[in-house]
Structure formats: C-alpha cells, structure tokens
Amino acid sequence: MLAVKIAPLLVSVWAVPVDELPTLSDQQFYQQQCGVCHQADGWGVPFMQPALVESPRVMGDAEITLKMIFLGSAAIPEGTSEYDNQMPSFSGLKDEDIARLASYIRRTFGNQPDPVSVDAVKRARLRYVQD
C-alpha cells in the first residue's frame, strides 16, 4: 500500500529531462566521477589508488591523461602497478564531459593550464575505444 502512495513521488523526481538537471561545477563533476578513489585533494589512497597530484600521467602530454580516462587500469602494463584497485574505463562519458574532466584534473593537480579540447578527446576515442 505504501509503495502505491509514494510511486508518483518517485516518478516525478526522476522524470526531469536531463537538460533541465542542474549543471555541476568542474570540481563537483570531478568529485562525482573520480573523487571517491583519487580523493577531493587528488592525493589518492596509498596502495589502493594513485595520487593525481604530481603524477606524470597528469603533468605530461594530455594524450596520456586521455588514455587513462578511456582505458582505466588497462592502460597500465600488467604487473607494473603498485595499486590494488582497478580503475574502470570512463569511455561512456560524452566527449565534452571527458574534455572538461581531463582539463580540470590537469589544471588542478598537474599545473597544466591549457584545456583539453573536445577535438583531442574525439581523436583519443578513435584510438582507444573499440566499438
């Protein structure tokens, strides 16, 4: 009986068109997608998840950052990681969101002020994601 009474409430909460949902700030988007493992401050969790701060994968060429986002832990040669947890692929995100995420990570934790373009993400997707 209770389910019948609250069901319309659930439908009304979830029936909001995606383009009407509030836009997350870059920091909030990072926290939602990456922060649980890499932490809000980017220092990761020792022996579980690597730090993004001072990481060569963040500080170097944007292509390396994009490869990690698209492939997750599969981008790391097997047996070379000291971390226990596996990073999933984030290839399900839209190109615009990946560009935004990569730009935030590199700007915040790698001192790389140049944004990652959507075109760079599209090229990386062609290289790393097999349909």
List of domains in the chain: 23-128 (1.10.760.10)
Would you place residue 45 in the very low, low, confident or very high pLDDT band (cuts 50, 70, 90)?
very high
**pLDDT given for residue 2 in this prediction:** 42
**pLDDT given for residue 77 in this prediction:** 87
**Quick check: 95 and 102 in contact, CB under 8 A?**
no
How many Å apart are CA 26 and CA 101, to the nearest integer?
7
> What's this model's pTM, rounded to 2 decimal places?
0.80
**Quick check: 37 and 27 in contact, CB under 8 A?**
no
Span 11-35, average pLDDT = 72
Which residues make beta-bridge pairs with 15?
none
67-80 tens-digit pLDDT:
999 999 999 888 88
Would you place residue 83 in the very low, low, confident or very high pLDDT band (cuts 50, 70, 90)?
confident
Count of C-beta atoms within a 10 Å radius of residue 55: 20
